[in-house]
Amino acid sequence: MYLCIKFSCFSLDLKRKIYEKLSFEIFTRFFERKEEELKRLYKTFDYITNILEADSWSLLLVPQNKMWRFLIWSHALDENPLENLGEFFQSQTPKNLRKIIYTASSFYIEDVTKADCWIELKDIPVKSWVGIPLVYEEQVYAILNIDWYRKRKKRKTDDAVFDTTKDVLSKILYDYLKLYERLGNVYKDILTGLYNRQYLEEVSWERFSHVLFIDLDNFKSVNDNFGHLIGDEVLKIVTERMQRITKKDDLLIRFGGDEFLLFVKSTDEGIEKISERLKKVLSRKINIDGRNIEIGCSVGIQKIEKELGLEKIISLADRKMYEDKNKKLK
C-alpha cells in the first residue's frame, strides 16, 4: 500500500487520515515544479491507481453540449484506440457513465461480466471498475476510470479514497488544465499539440492534393526498452522535426499512437521529395538523457480524389505505408 495508514479498523478518524494523507500526496505530485504538465498528470493518476492496486486508468471528458473525448490514459492502454471511444460513449452512453453524470457520485462495479450497464471493450480485459466523477459548479465535467484486470471485492476504505480523489482533484484539475479552453477545443492532441483525428470531420481536406500516412518504425521497442515517458518525449521530438519541414498551409495530424497524417498541396514529383525528406529527418538519432534512440518512418502516399471519400483515401495511404514498411523487412 502506498498510503502509510493501517486499514484494519474503519472509522471517521481513519477516513480523515486517508483524506489528509491522500490530499497531500496528490498535491505534491500535481504541483511538482520540476515536472512538465503532462508528466504531473500521469504521476497523479498513476499514484491513485497504485493506491487501489489497479491496472489502468483513463480520463474521459464529458462536457455538456460538447464532444466527449478521452484526454489522457495510462500507458497500459496505449495500444487501444481510446481516441475514438469518447464520441461513441456520448452517442450510446452506458448506464454506468449515465449514473455517474446524474448523481455526481462514484460508481463501483465488482464484476463487469455480470453488470448489464457495462459495454465490453475489445482488448481491454477489465473485470472490476470504478468511475470517479470530477465536478465543477455541480456539473460533472470528467470521469476518472480506474480498471482492474481481475475481479476485486470492494474494500471498506475504497469510498474514502474515491471521495478524496473527487474532492481534491475536481477543482484543481479544472483550473490547472484551463478546461474552459480545452473543452472548447476538442481537436487538439494534448501530448504533441497537433490536431487529432477528430479534426478530420471539420477540415476541408479536398483542398489538398495528397496525403501522406506516416508510421514510426521501431517505436514499440522504444517504449519496451526505455519506458513510456521516454516514448512520449520521442513523439514530441518527432513532431517538432516534422513541423520544421512542413509548410504553413500543410496540415499535420496525429492520427493515433505513432501514426500521423500530413495533408499537402504538391505535384507528384514534389510529394516524393517530401516523403524522402521526412524519412531522412526522422532517421536522425534522438538523444534523451544520454540515451541514443534510433527510429525511422514508413510513408504511404495517396493522391486525393474527392470521389473516393476521405475514409477510403486514408485506407489506401495506410496500405501503401505498410507496403513501404514491408520493403525494409526483405
CATH number at residue 207: 3.30.70.270
Percent of residues, the chain, with pLDDT higher than 70: 87
Cα–Cα distance for residue pair 315/304, rounded to 1 Å: 12
- The number of folded domains in the chain is 2
Report pLDDT for 32. Answer: 66
Residues 6+ apart with CB under 8 A from 112: 118, 120, 126, 127, 128, 129
In-domain check, residue 107:
yes
Q: Are residues 291 and 168 in the same domain?
A: no
Tell me how far apart the terminal alpha carbons of the chain are, to the nearest angstrom: 49
| Beta carbons within 8 Å of 179's beta carbon, 6+ residues apart | 61, 63, 136, 141, 142, 173
* Dist. CA 81–CA 330, nearest whole Å: 29
pLDDT of residue 116: 82
pLDDT at 111: 94
9, part of any domain: no
140 and 222 together in one domain = no
Does a structural domain hold residue 166? Answer: yes
User: Which range of residues forms the domain containing residue 240?
Assistant: 197-329
- Residue where one domain finishes, among candidates 146, 166, 186: 186
Q: What is the CATH number of the domain that holds 43?
A: 3.30.450.40
Going by the DSSP 8-state scheme, the letter that residue 193 receives in this structure is -
In a domain? residue 307: yes
Residues 212 and 294 in one domain: yes
**DSSP symbols for 138-166:** TEEEEEEEEEESS--PPPTTHHHHHHHHH
3-state secondary structure of 37: helix
DSSP conformation letters of 254-275: EEETTEEEEEE---HHHHHHHH
Q: Are residues 162 and 19 in the same domain?
A: yes
Q: For residues 105 and 299, give the distance between their C-alpha atoms in angstroms, rounded to a whole number.
A: 47
Residue written as grid cell 483515401:
313
pLDDT value for 178 = 63
Asked if residue 87 belongs to a domain, the reply is yes
Q: Is residue 63 part of a domain?
A: yes
Domain boundary among 186, 211, 239: 186
Residues 91 and 136 placed together within one structural domain of the fold: yes
Say if 156 falls within a structural domain: yes
Task: Assess whether 181 and 208 both reside in one domain.
Answer: no
* Residues 265 and 313 both lie in one domain: yes
Identity at 73, one-letter amino acid code:
W
Same domain, yes or no: 91 and 146? yes
Q: Answer for the pair 295, 235: CB distance below 8 angstroms, yes or no.
A: no
| Whether 47 and 174 share a structural domain | yes
Q: Residue 324 CA to chain centroid, in angstroms?
A: 27
pTM of the model: 0.70
Residue 42 lies in a domain: yes
Task: Report pLDDT digits (tens) over 79-117.
Answer: 776 777 777 888 888 899 999 999 999 999 999 988 887
Residues 182 and 34 reside in one and the same domain: yes
Low pLDDT (below 50) residues in the chain: 1-10, 180
Do 153 and 45 lie in one domain? The reply is: yes
**Last residue within a domain, chosen from 152, 186, 220:** 186
One domain, residues 215 and 275: yes
